[in-house]
C-alpha cells in the first residue's frame, strides 16, 4: 500500500523535488497541498470560539466553563502527545511556519482541519487577543479541566500538599519535578495559587497533563482522602512560619526528622507551606513530623519549589534502590 502523504500547511505551494545530492542522501518528498478556501479562516473577534478563548484568561470564566487555555507550540504539542483532546484549537499558519517545531505542529493541525477534529485557522489578531504573552506563538487551545481517578493517586507513594503556595512559577516547577520523577501526586489547598492560571500552565511546560493533581482542597476533605489512600506518614517541610501564637508553638513541638532519615518507600504526604508565612494551622495539625533538609552551607531556607524538588528526588532515589 502506498505511503499516505501528510497534508501541507495552509497556503503552501507544491514544491518540486530537489536535485539529487552527490552523496545520494534521501530527498524530501514534495508536500501535497491541502484544500482550504479563505472563508475557512476565522477572522472576526466576535466569533464564538475567538470570544471563548479570550474569556479563559479570566479565572471566574475558567471555572464557570470548566476549561483552561494553553498557548504556544510546546504546550499544544504536549497536549496532543498526551492524548488530551482540546475542545478546539485556533492557529495562525504564518506564525507557525517560522520555526521547525511550529511547522511540525502545523502539519498535525492541518490533518485535524481535514478530518474536522476541532482545529481552526485564524488571523493573527485573534491569536494576539487570546494571548497572555507579549509574543504569541500562533496557536491556542481550549482544554477541559483535567480529571484524575483515585487509582491514579493510589499508584503514587509520594503526595505533595501545597498549602497556600502563591507563586505560579513555583507551582510549575513542582509539577515539572513530579512529572520528571514519575513518583508523585500533587494536592493544592483552597488558599493556593490557581492551578489553571496561564502563568502556572506555562511554567508547568506540559506537566499539568501528566501529574495526578487535585486543587482547591479543603483540609478536612484532604485529610480524609489521605486516610483512604492509607497514608500515615505526613511530614511538614521546615520553613517560614508566622510569628507568635499557638501555631508557631505547635509547629516547633513536632518531632523532627532529616530528609535522609525518612523511609520514602512507604506512602508519604509532605506539606509545603506558603513561601512567606509557612503552613496553615490546619497544615501543621495534619502533620506528625517536621521534615528538615540539611543545609550545611548555612542558608536559612530554600525556595519552596527547590525544597519540593529535593524531596521528590530523594524519595525517588530510595524507591529505585
Which ranges of the chain have pLDDT less than 70? Answer: 1-39, 240-252
Angle between the 168-181 and 304-320 helix axes, to the nearest 10 degrees?
Answer: 10
pLDDT value at residue 245: 43
Q: Residue 205: what pLDDT?
A: 98
Burial 172-186 (b: 16+ CB within 10 A, else e): bbbbbbbbbbebbbb
Query: Coil, strand or helix: which one is 217?
Result: strand
In this prediction, residue 33 carries a pLDDT of 42
Domain extents for the chain? Answer: 38-144, 150-320
Share of the chain above pLDDT 90, in %: 78
Return the sign of the alpha-carbon dihedral for residues 152, 155, 161, 166. negative
pLDDT in the model for residue 244 = 45
Report pTM. 0.85
pLDDT digits (tens, 9 = 90+) for 101-138: 999 999 999 999 999 999 999 999 999 999 998 899 99
* Assigned fold of 150-320: Alpha/beta knot (3.40.1280)
Q: What is the pLDDT of residue 38?
A: 52
Q: Which fold has domain 38-144?
A: 60s Ribosomal Protein L30; Chain: A; (3.30.1330)
pLDDT, position 309: 98
pLDDT of residue 53: 97
Instruction: Report pLDDT for 31.
Output: 42
Amino acid at each position: 500500500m502506498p505511503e499516505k502523504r501528510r497534508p501541507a500547511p495552509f497556503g503552501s505551494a507544491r514544491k518540486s523535488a530537489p536535485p539529487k545530492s552527490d552523496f545520494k542522501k534521501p530527498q524530501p518528498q514534495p508536500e501535497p497541498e491541502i484544500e482550504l478556501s479563505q472563508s475557512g479562516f476565522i477572522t472576526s473577534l466576535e466569533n464564538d470560539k475567538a470570544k471563548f478563548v479570550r474569556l479563559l484568561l479570566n479565572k471566574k470564566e475558567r471555572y464557570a466553563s470548566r476549561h483552561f487555555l494553553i498557548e504556544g507550540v510546546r504546550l499544544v504539542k504536549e497536549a496532543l502527545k498526551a492524548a488530551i483532546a482540546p475542545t478546539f484549537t485556533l492557529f495562525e499558519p504564518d506564525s507557525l511556519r517560522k520555526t521547525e517545531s511550529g511547522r511540525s505542529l502545523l502539519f498535525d493541525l492541518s490533518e485535524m482541519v481535514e478530518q474536522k477534529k476541532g482545529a481552526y485557522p485564524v488571523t493573527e489578531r485573534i491569536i494576539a487577543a487570546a494571548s497572555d504573552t507579549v509574543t504569541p506563538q500562533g496557536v491556542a487551545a481550549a482544554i477541559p479541566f483535567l480529571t484524575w481517578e483515585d487509582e491514579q493517586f493510589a499508584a503514587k507513594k509520594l503526595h505533595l500538599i501545597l498549602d497556600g503556595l502563591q507563586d505560579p512559577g513555583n507551582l510549575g516547577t513542582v509539577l515539572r519535578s513530579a512529572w520528571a520523577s514519575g513518583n508523585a501526586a500533587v494536592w493544592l489547598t483552597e488558599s493556593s495559587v490557581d492551578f489553571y492560571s496561564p502563568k502556572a500552565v506555562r511554567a508547568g511546560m506540559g506537566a499539568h497533563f501528566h501529574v495526578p493533581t487535585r486543587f482547591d482542597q479543603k483540609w478536612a476533605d484532604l485529610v480524609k482522602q489521605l486516610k483512604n489512600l492509607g497514608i500515615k506518614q505526613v511530614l511538614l517541610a521546615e520553613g517560614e512560619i508566622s510569628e507568635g501564637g499557638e501555631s508557631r508553638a505547635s509547629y516547633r513541638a513536632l518531632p523532627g526528622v532529616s530528609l535522609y532519615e525518612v523511609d520514602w518507600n512507604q506512602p508519604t504526604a509532605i506539606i509545603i507551606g506558603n513561601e512567606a508565612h509557612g503552613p496553615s494551622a490546619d497544615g501543621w495539625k495534619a502533620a506528625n513530623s517536621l521534615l528538615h533538609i540539611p543545609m550545611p552551607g548555612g542558608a536559612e531556607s530554600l525556595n519552596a519549589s527547590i525544597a519540593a524538588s529535593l524531596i521528590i528526588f530523594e524519595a525517588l532515589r530510595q524507591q529505585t534502590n
